[in-house]
């Protein structure tokens, strides 16, 4: 029964993230689940989904952690070199894969991860 409950919680949380209109916070996930699993369980499942390469974590412009589905990640390697856009009106955070950045670092620097979050008004709110 314990293993089945864990699978069910994982499925429920993954479904909330899949059906969301953008990245969602822990609080938004818990609110959507309406007490179907506790706060600690949500954190544990989110950590497991990140480890599995199913979701990724975004820190929005307010410092809040949000979670979104991964598009082509694997357990061994997350690939999130894309822009996140945080709307100042509707507060939805979206992944923008079609925006390309170019920057050059000094030779002695090696990038391991990137996290770009832009804020402004999204297309729906303009």
Mean pLDDT calculated for residue range 10-14: 93
E runs forming strands in the chain: 24-25, 55-59, 65-69, 83-87, 93-96, 116-120
**pTM higher than 0.75 for the full model?**
no
Give residue-wise pLDDT tens across range 76-115.
555 556 788 888 898 888 878 777 777 888 999 987 767 7
pLDDT in tens, 43-65: 999 999 988 888 988 888 888 89
Which pLDDT value is given to residue 78?
56
**Tokens standing for residue 25:** 């916070």
* DSSP-derived 3-state class of residue 116: strand
Say how far apart CA 78 and CA 62 lie, in whole Å. 23
């Amino acid at each position: 029964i314990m293993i089945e409950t864990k699978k069910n919680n994982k499925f429920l949380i993954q479904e909330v993230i899949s059906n969301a209109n953008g990245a969602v916070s822990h609080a938004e996930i818990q609110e959507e689940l309406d007490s179907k699993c506790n706060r600690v369980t949500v954190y544990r499942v989110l950590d497991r989904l990140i480890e599995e390469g199913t979701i990724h974590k975004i820190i929005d412009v307010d410092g809040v952690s949000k979670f979104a589905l991964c598009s082509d990640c694997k357990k061994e390697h997350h690939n999130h070199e894309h822009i996140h856009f945080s709307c100042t009106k509707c507060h939805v955070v979206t992944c923008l894969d079609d925006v390309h950045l170019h920057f050059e670092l000094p030779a002695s620097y090696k990038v391991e991860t990137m996290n770009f979050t832009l804020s402004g008004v999204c297309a729906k709110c303009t």
